[in-house]
Structure 1
Amino acid sequence: MAPSTQTPFALILAEMVVAITAVILFCLEYPVDFRSRLWENGGELGYNSNPNKRIYYYANHLEPPEVPFIWSQSLAASNLAIAMLGLVVFVARTIMSRLRCLPHHINIIYDMILFSLWAIGLAGQTSSDLSDPKHPSPHPWYLTRGCSVSWDRTRGYCHTAQAGFAISIMAGILYGTRLIREIVLVAYASGQRHQSKGLVLNTDDIESSESFYSDGEWESLEQKTSRNSLVLSPVLAFFPSDSESRW
């Protein structure tokens, strides 16, 4: 069975705070009018394209530009889905960790997936709005200019969007740190196993060496005994009967 350990309580607490906060913030951002109001605010101030001008395309029977991803409902849905997945994974592996049935390689898979998803989410939250050539926006205005320039009625939306971006950064750092930690633990455990195997092999070599030298000493002892008998044999030849009676 693959080795498993309990996750430190501090890491569990940090992941719980990040997972729950992310779900709450992206639930607040999910309504359709959330991003449209931020889009309108930036458009009226000249920071990005203006959604109110899209009516002229319809009036002239023209196809309007595609809604930029930064203001689309797809971004809100994807962010909420990532946050929900993070919360589900947190609950699942917390239970598995308490039961000591959470192998390191499962943790690595979870952290790789969540780290990648949050990185994609951050890329979406900082994406551009280039649909209006006169007012290009490389990044959303509420991240580059702050909420002090926003309207009063959209200031709460602005702060919520900033908080969602901040919690996404924290989630990326958290799962990246967890991923590095799990890889280090797996590498350390692998090194310990190789070291223990090396010690077993060294012990076997020592035992075989000891048996080899013992056999050699025994052979040298037999050789010395045979040599002594050869030296004494001419002397005993003069007294055969006495030697036999004595021995």
Structure 2
Amino acid sequence: MSKFPEPLTTSPSRYLLIHNTLVIKNLLIMSQRLRGSIHRPDLSVVLLCIEAVVVFAALVLFGVAYPDRFRSRLWRNGGEQGWCSNPRMRIYFYANHEEPPEIPLIWSQRLTTSDMATAVLGATIFFARLTMAVLQYEARWTNLAYDAFLGVLWACSAAAQNEPDLSDPHHFSERPWYLTRSCDEAWPENRGWCMIAKWEYAWSIFAAFFYVARVVGTLSWSLYEKGRRDGFSTGCKALSLSECDPWTEECEIALYMDDA
């Protein structure tokens, strides 16, 4: 005996009642989704605000250090104190017509330039993302690619700023001295630059974590949405009009889908 009552096919008023009830429920669901869509951009606004802080702070920190405001000073300061290689020793190599050792990456202009380029690229992507948000254009996968790319760049920047100085066998430095020592130990004129170098390293780590967190959040939300869609689709396919109570929500949804 079928669970679906026979009067449903013979009583138009009952069919109409169920149909109208379903329509009302669907309107309520749509209104809830609309309210959710209204609140959802708030998260995008918060993320854009955080990204603005990350981007502009990076521009200020690395812009102050560009092109070479403090790395040569910190290198000379550490070399004179015996904390790392001494750049003045390179004069003896030139005087003896010998090839001096390669400048360590941590003290090179390449690192300063690459850090500044990463900060500028982050600002460019931020303005592109801001434009898409103003135009209400959802580019989830494009933003995901941007976040992954910037996360890798900032992680590489942080790793490069933590590079060792092994150019002087008598004064090995596994990490930059300004990351292992207090800036109070530096020369008075270099203490401010020492603090900026510390902030640059910390900010690079923070920026890398921020963009990686965005990647993880985007992927998690996409998987959650896919699971919800798959679950709803599976439930609709498994539900039959002849196997449900006509006054339950599942049967009403099945009735509505069948009627559509």
Q: TM-score under structure 1 normalisation?
A: 0.79
Residue type at the aligned position of 1:152: P
**Which residue among 144, 149, 156 is the counterpart of 1:113?**
149
SS of the residue corresponding to residue 76 of structure 1 reads: helix
SS of residue paired to 1:198: helix
Aligned residues: 205
Greater alpha carbon shift after TM alignment, 95-104 vs 179-188: 95-104
Deviation at 1:57, TM superposition (A): 0.2
1:99 Cα offset (Å)? 2.5
Tell me the percent identity: 43
The residue aligned with 1:95 is 131
Q: How far off is 1:61 after superposition? A: 0.4
Please name the residue that 1:224 is paired with. Answer: none
Partner of 2:216: 180
1:190-229 matches, cutoff 5 A:
190-203=226-239, 206-207=240-241
Are the aligned partners of 2:59 and 2:116 in contact in 1 as well (CA < 8 Å)?
yes
Tell me the equivalent position of 2:15.
none
Does residue 14 of structure 1 match 2:50? yes
Q: In structure 2, which of residues 94, 103, 110 is the aligned counterpart of residue 74 of structure 1?
A: 110
Q: What letter corresponds to residue 159 of structure 1 in structure 2?
A: M
Structure 1 residue 163 displacement after superposition? 1.2
Does 1:27 pair with 2:55? no
| 1:163 paired residue number | 199
Moved more, 194-203 or 77-86: 194-203
Inter-partner Cα distance in structure 2 for 1:175 and 1:49: 35
Query: 1: CA distance between counterparts of 2:61 and 2:69?
Result: 15
Over 3 Å counting, the alpha-carbon distance change for 1:184 and 1:98 in structure 2 is: farther
Amino acid at match of 2:131: I
TM-score between both structures, scaled by the size of structure 2: 0.75
Q: Deviations over 1:63-104 (max 9, x none)?
A: 000000000000001101111111111111122123231232
Q: CA deviation at 1:121?
A: 0.3
Q: Which secondary structure state, in structure 1, belongs to the residue aligned with residue 77 of structure 2?
A: helix
Equivalent residue for 2:161? 125
- The offset of 1:32, in angstroms, is 2.5
What secondary structure is seen at the aligned counterpart in 2 of 1:113?
Answer: helix
User: Aligned residue for 2:31?
Assistant: none
Larger Rg: 1
Moved more, 172-181 or 26-35: 26-35
Name the residue aligned to 2:76: 40
The amino acid of 2:126's aligned partner reads: F
Work out the CA distance in 2 between the residues paired with 1:195 and 1:94: 34
Deviations 1:134-190 (A, max 9, x none): 000011000100211110111121111111111111101111111111011111111
Match of 2:89 in 1: 53
Alpha-carbon distance in structure 2 between the residues aligned to 1:196 and 1:106: 27
Q: Equivalents in 2 of 1:116, 1:28: separation in Å? A: 23
Instruction: Could you tell me which runs of 5 or more consecutive residues in structure 1 were left unpaired when the two chains were aligned.
Output: 211-247
- Code of the aligned partner of 1:193: R
